[in-house]
């Protein structure tokens, strides 16, 4: 069994309207699913991805209006990257971030790639990274956003984990999940150990987890802008059906097999407390909506459809336009 890379990253927003504006208007991603948190149906769950919702391209947000601020620390997914084609694209985004007053850093080298840090209005810690296209395939750019296709975001890149003890997380990645240590690069924080890079699938940013050891930090107190979990791609249902027993046999408490309708999932925590998910590529977001109108109406999986009236009554209206 081999994981194929990042499937999705799920975070928290306290303002779904502004969150939608940022990811669709400023970043040019497509809202491919407007649904609800299946574990708390009075809140929205928004999925932003490429033009067709390709696995490995979607950043999702749980809408929690009362979420407080995030206090960064260890046991966290501390950065989420998105892929672009080349350094010219980074120059485009640098100008765009200045134009829209998006907090950002400068273009810098990390692991022999050009990168650009930025944040959304809630402090989500995000990054653009150049992908040379030799690893995991790109997504399909969403061309109706106004972003030139050659500069568009092409899917998720690596995630960064910030932990107190790297070796414990590294052991899970390599000995349980099949990742390979492929190198390291200097930390942005003076005096800290290098950040180690682990890779799976066909490689490249979309198949990488970067692990930062920070014994000087307290545990993160999550809030708006923080990441809830990262999911990894399971290519087939056959492999998915084996993962739950495999994890339990190796001492992990799991959620069991969870049917999210758009994909099947298994959840567990690695030793530093970060929530991992294993998710299938299929059936995908177009299973209950036409591809041309993804994300335009409230989509509910069949097991929630009988409760639609009550769910819609519990949701606050969203002021988001059709794309």
Output the six-digit token pair for 245.
């027993």
321: which strand partners?
Answer: none
- The pairing of beta strand 113-119 with beta strand 208-213: unpaired
- Annotate 237-264 with DSSP letters as a single string: HHHHHHHHHHHHHTT--B---EE-SSEE
The CATH number given to 6-314 is: 3.10.180.10
What per-residue confidence (pLDDT) applies to 320? 81
Cα-to-chain-centroid distance, residue 321: 23
What per-residue confidence (pLDDT) applies to 321? 58
End-to-end CA distance of the chain: 38
Task: Indicate the domain borders of the chain.
Answer: 6-314
Pairwise CA distance, residues 123 & 70, whole Å = 8
36: which strand partners?
Answer: 44
DSSP 98: H
What per-residue confidence (pLDDT) applies to 2? 87
What per-residue confidence (pLDDT) applies to 323? 43
Pairwise CA distance, residues 78 & 124, whole Å = 9
Q: What average pLDDT values come out for the chain (323 residues) when binned by 10 residues?
A: 95 97 97 94 96 97 96 98 98 98 97 98 97 96 94 98 97 98 96 97 97 97 97 95 96 96 96 97 92 94 95 90 50
Pairwise CA distance, residues 131 & 224, whole Å = 29
Question: Is pTM beyond 0.85 here?
Answer: yes
- Burial code (b: 16+ CB inside 10 Å, e: under 16) for 202-215 equals eebbbbbbbbbbbe
What per-residue confidence (pLDDT) applies to 275? 98
């Amino acid at each position: 069994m081999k994981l194929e890379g990042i499937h999705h990253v799920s975070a928290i927003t306290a303002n779904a309207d502004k969150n939608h504006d940022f990811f669709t208007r400023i970043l040019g991603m497509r809202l491919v699913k407007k649904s609800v948190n299946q574990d708390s149906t009075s809140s929205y769950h928004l999925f932003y991805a490429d033009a067709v919702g390709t696995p490995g391209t979607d950043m999702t947000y749980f809408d929690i209006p009362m979420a407080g601020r995030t206090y960064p620390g260890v046991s966290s997914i501390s950065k989420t990257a998105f892929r672009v084609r080349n350094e010219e694209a980074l120059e485009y985004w640098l100008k765009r971030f200045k134009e829209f007053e998006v907090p950002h850093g400068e273009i810098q080298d990390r692991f022999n790639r050009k990168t650009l840090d930025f944040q959304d209005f809630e402090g989500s810690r995000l990054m653009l990274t150049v992908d040379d296209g030799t690893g995991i395939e790109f997504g399909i750019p969403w061309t109706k956003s106004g972003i030139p296709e050659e500069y568009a975001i092409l899917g998720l890149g690596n995630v960064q984990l910030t932990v107190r003890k790297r070796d414990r997380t590294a052991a899970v990645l390599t000995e349980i999940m099949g990742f390979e240590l492929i190198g390291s690069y200097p930390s942005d924080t003076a005096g800290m150990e290098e950040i180690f890079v682990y890779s799976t699938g066909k490689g490249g940013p979309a198949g990488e987890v970067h692990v930062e050891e920070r014994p000087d930090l307290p545990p993160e107190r999550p809030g708006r802008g923080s990441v809830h979990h990262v999911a990894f791609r399971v290519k087939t249902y056959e492999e998915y059906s084996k993962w739950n027993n495999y994890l339990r046999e190796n001492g992990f408490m799991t959620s069991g097999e969870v049917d999210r309708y758009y994909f099947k999932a298994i959840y567990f925590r690695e030793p530093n407390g970060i929530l991992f998910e294993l998710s299938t590529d299929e059936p995908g977001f177009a299973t209950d909506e036409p591809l041309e109108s993804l994300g335009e109406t409230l989509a509910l999986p069949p097991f929630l459809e009988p409760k639609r009236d009550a769910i819609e009554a519990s949701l606050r209206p969203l002021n988001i336009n059709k794309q």
